Amino acid sequence: MKINVLVLSLISFVSFAQKEISLTKSQLKDKIMGGWAGQTIGVTFGGPVEFKFNGTMINDYQKIPWYDGYIKKTMLNNPGVYDDLYMDLTFVEVFEKEGLDAPVASHAKAYANAGYLLWHANQSARYNILKGLMPPESGHWLNNTHADCIDYQIEADFAGLMSPGMPNTASQISDKIGHIMNYGDGWYGGVYVGAMYSLALISDDMNYVVNEALKTIPKESNYYKCIADVIKWHKQYPDDWKKTWFELQQKWTNDVGCPDGVFAPFNIDATINSAYVVVGLLYGKKDFTNTMEITTRCGQDADCNPSTAGGILGAMIGYKSIPEYWKLGLKEAESIDFKYTSTSLDDVYEIGTKHALLNIERNGGKVSGEKVTIKTQIPTPVKFEQSFEGHFPTDKLWIGKNIEQEYEFDFEGNGFVLKGEAYPQKSNAWESRDDKNLKMEVYIDGKLHETAELPTSYITRRNELTWKYQLSDSKHHVKLKILDPSPEYICRMTELIWYSSKPQEKITIGSFGTIKKKTN
């Protein structure tokens, strides 16, 4: 009897280690199609509730729409929803044009110069690249205040889909491309997602995929510890995902780096959002509807997370096994190029399969006619990195002022971030902004720290006005000076966040209402 990949996946998974498994090209293509289609379905489904439920789950009675034609309508009328896809496809197109050894600079420049809007780590890296700071420095936390954000996690699908059964190969791809925009836990989000895709292509056991992929992450990282907690709580509460959600909320929702998430319910950190993906995958039990519902209802980045979960599950079960309900109207959308790209789903089904076959051959596998033989890999951990080490948020102050010519402030700590942006006086609407660079000198304790360039274009903007980490933990004086003030342009300060080298004492209420202080 012929043993195919579905039968092999039921065998003890220890046997996969450094073994060869075989499947047909059509089976592989079906799984790769499932990965790309699953992403598209998930992000479309979660789009209406993205970041509308922060620090809370989406209640069961909250209806999330789904109907025939919805995917096509969203692709045509709200293409920005698909950042998960067109960011992925930017890198896929570079591989297609320059080959699998395309230099990281090509990937970095392709997305930095693309016409789509970006936010968080992606936008900070775009700014860095356009100013000449290339990867990996463009994603490093000292240069990118959003280094731990979700960005590469939502873009790493391609790395796993082109590396079936080869999680370490996916990690190598992520090492190059993920460090364009992320570092530390932010980078680990993409490494882990890539490994789960890689393993989902050769296994139909979700517990195995979730656990085995985690071996690519260093155990000393917070990211590893958080995902390990999800696995532990799933065993503890196997039938109640909401209990695991509450455990996560209590332990893992304190953001440290992202200036928009510190002292706020908003959380775009890769760690917690990856945890929500894993909650959906484990509690969804390979049921597509349950996986979509649970992952989305965890809240926060509630379109990117079901996109990732849907893609991983789609890669596992294959395109043909995605329920017809979730493929309503998908066929009529598959030929439409994602905005800002020249690639449609139909295109990437073919291109993605081609890249996977090439990657299989260059990593010891074989492609002979319809037979594909994959030399599987034992997952190994990538290098350890930690963003914002030794920096603990102390406080946040609303400023809400324009810098006319100069502005000064004091703080006590070892780092700060000043939020704000530059824009034309006439309009702050992103689509009508012209592209001018304001220049601002930043002095810290009387010494010039930087001459910051502040583009007024929303596409090329600097996410924050200025920041500095790794200062001595003491009192500091900051002076800002606009070099070319003009009544036509505004440099607006919004919030100031500062850090300390030690965790803040927190106040708790004792058993009789007495106030006690303790260190985190």
Q: What CATH number matches the domain at 5-375, 1.10.10.10, 1.10.4080.10, 3.20.20.70, 1.10.357.10? A: 1.10.4080.10
* pLDDT higher than threshold 80 for residue 171: yes
* pLDDT higher than threshold 70 for residue 15: no
- Give the pLDDT of residue 434: 82
- Mean pLDDT value of segment 357-381: 98
Q: Are 473 and 414 in contact (CB under 8 A)?
A: yes
* pLDDT higher than threshold 80 for residue 9: no
- Give the pLDDT of residue 508: 59
Percent of the chain scoring above 70 in pLDDT: 93
Note the Cα 71 to chain centre separation in Å.
22
- Written as one letter, the residue type at 451 is T
Q: Are 316 and 31 in contact (CB under 8 A)?
A: yes
* pLDDT higher than threshold 70 for residue 71: yes
Q: In the predicted model, what is the mean pLDDT of the chain?
A: 94
Q: Are 165 and 8 in contact (CB under 8 A)?
A: no
- Please give the structure tokens belonging to residue 392: 């603990």
- Mean pLDDT value of segment 269-279: 98
454 or 2: which leads in pLDDT = 454
Q: For residues 5 and 130, what is the distance between their CA atoms, to the nearest angstrom?
A: 45
- Please give the structure tokens belonging to residue 347: 């295109």
Quick one: which of 312, 276, 326, 359 has its CA closest to 36? 312
* pLDDT higher than threshold 70 for residue 289: yes
Write the pLDDT tens digit of every residue in 475-491. 999 999 999 899 999 99
Q: For residues 224 and 38, what is the distance between their CA atoms, to the nearest angstrom?
A: 25
Q: For residues 122 and 128, what is the distance between their CA atoms, to the nearest angstrom?
A: 10
Can you list the positions of beta strands (E) in 472-520? 474-482, 489-500, 505-509, 515-519
Write the pLDDT tens digit of every residue in 189-224. 999 999 999 999 999 999 999 999 999 999 999 999
Q: For residues 223 and 402, what is the distance between their CA atoms, to the nearest angstrom?
A: 38
- Mean pLDDT value of segment 233-242: 98
pTM of the model: 0.94
Q: Are 374 and 20 in contact (CB under 8 A)?
A: yes
Q: Are 426 and 438 in contact (CB under 8 A)?
A: no
Q: Name beta bridge partners: 411.
A: 476
474-482: strand order across its sheet: 406-413, 474-482, 437-444, 447-455
Longest CA span, the chain: 80
- Give the pLDDT of residue 520: 43
- Give the pLDDT of residue 504: 83
509 or 146: which leads in pLDDT = 146
Q: Are 182 and 149 in contact (CB under 8 A)?
A: yes
Q: For residues 86 and 111, what is the distance between their CA atoms, to the nearest angstrom?
A: 10
Question: Where does the pLDDT of residue 327 fall: very low under 50, low under 70, confident under 90, or very high at 90 and above?
Answer: very high
- Give the pLDDT of residue 234: 98
Among 165-169, 295-299, 415-419, 427-431, where is mean pLDDT lowest?
427-431
Residue 38 phi, psi dihedral angles, 5° rounding = -60, -40
- Please give the structure tokens belonging to residue 196: 């789960």
Percent of the chain scoring above 90 in pLDDT: 91
* pLDDT higher than threshold 90 for residue 343: yes
* pLDDT higher than threshold 50 for residue 11: no
Q: What are the extents of the domains in the chain?
A: 5-375, 392-507
- Mean pLDDT value of segment 61-71: 96
Q: For residues 101 and 111, what is the distance between their CA atoms, to the nearest angstrom?
A: 17
- Mean pLDDT value of segment 257-285: 98
Task: Classify the phi-psi angles of 285: left when phi > 0, otherwise alpha if psi is within -120 to 50, otherwise beta.
Answer: left
278 Cβ neighbours under 8 A, 6+ residues apart: 210, 227, 230, 231
Architecture of the structural domain at 392-507: Sandwich (2.60)
- Mean pLDDT value of segment 436-448: 97
Question: Where does the pLDDT of residue 426 fall: very low under 50, low under 70, confident under 90, or very high at 90 and above?
Answer: confident
- Give the pLDDT of residue 38: 98
Distances (CA, A) of 328 to 70, 72, 386, 405: 8, 10, 43, 57
* pLDDT higher than threshold 70 for residue 516: no
Quick one: which of 204, 191, 206, 210 has its CA closest to 153? 191
- Please give the structure tokens belonging to residue 20: 């060869």
* pLDDT higher than threshold 60 for residue 412: yes
- Please give the structure tokens belonging to residue 238: 């196997």
Question: Where does the pLDDT of residue 363 fall: very low under 50, low under 70, confident under 90, or very high at 90 and above?
Answer: very high
- Give the pLDDT of residue 20: 95
Task: Please name the residue that has the structure tokens 């106040």.
Answer: 507
Task: Please name the residue that has the structure tokens 């519902």.
Answer: 293
- Give the pLDDT of residue 509: 57
Q: Are 59 and 245 in contact (CB under 8 A)?
A: no
- Give the pLDDT of residue 433: 78
Task: Please name the residue that has the structure tokens 């209406």.
Answer: 48
Distances (CA, A) of 301 to 18, 217, 260, 369, 519: 36, 22, 14, 42, 30
* pLDDT higher than threshold 90 for residue 10: no
Q: Are 411 and 478 in contact (CB under 8 A)?
A: yes
